[in-house]
Amino acid sequence: MRRGRRAQAAATALVALVAAAACARSEGAARPDAWVEIDRVRVAVELARTPEEQRRGLSGRDGLGWGEGMLFLYRDAGFQQFWMIDMRFPIDMVWIRDGRIVGIHHRVPPPADGTPPDALPRYAPGELVDAVLEVPAGFAQASGWARDSAVRYGGGALAR
């Protein structure tokens, strides 16, 4: 009888632990769709492909895990411009064209509370890009990424 109760208590504790871990994920966080690899450092990424996904980006979330990111893909290279509206945490913005890093904005801070949208700084690479990778602040530097680093893409939702 005692063994049965112990097993049941252990199973209940395990279920509670799994549920707590699932709830601990950042609000709005999604499962990684694919991966990006730069200088042998692989990042699990959520894809922002549609205009709505790209507009929303990481806004309203509490953070990214180390080694996680969001990848913005564009069919054609263009002059992309980003802002940090409704962002709650700092990030690195990695600007990509034709499978190479063309620029990095390091440690871009979230806006101060109450900053009106028209007062938010805009971030742009100054040249055409076909992808932008957002990762936790400091990740790009810690990974040794720099201009001209090669970028590879892969994973179930991404063949590029």
Whether 7 shows a pLDDT value over 80: the answer reads no
| pLDDT for 112 | 94
Distances, alpha carbon 69 to alpha carbons 4, 17, 31, 92, 114, in Å = 44, 26, 11, 10, 26
Top pLDDT among 1 and 43 is at 43
pLDDT in tens, 22-33: 333 444 445 788
Domain boundaries, the chain: 26-154
pLDDT in tens, 139-159: 999 999 999 999 999 997 765
Both structure tokens of 95: 């600007």
Top pLDDT among 27 and 67 is at 67
26-154, superfamily in CATH? Protein of unknown function DUF192 (2.60.120.1140)
pTM for the model stands at 0.79
Residue 22 to residue 152: CA distance in whole angstroms: 30
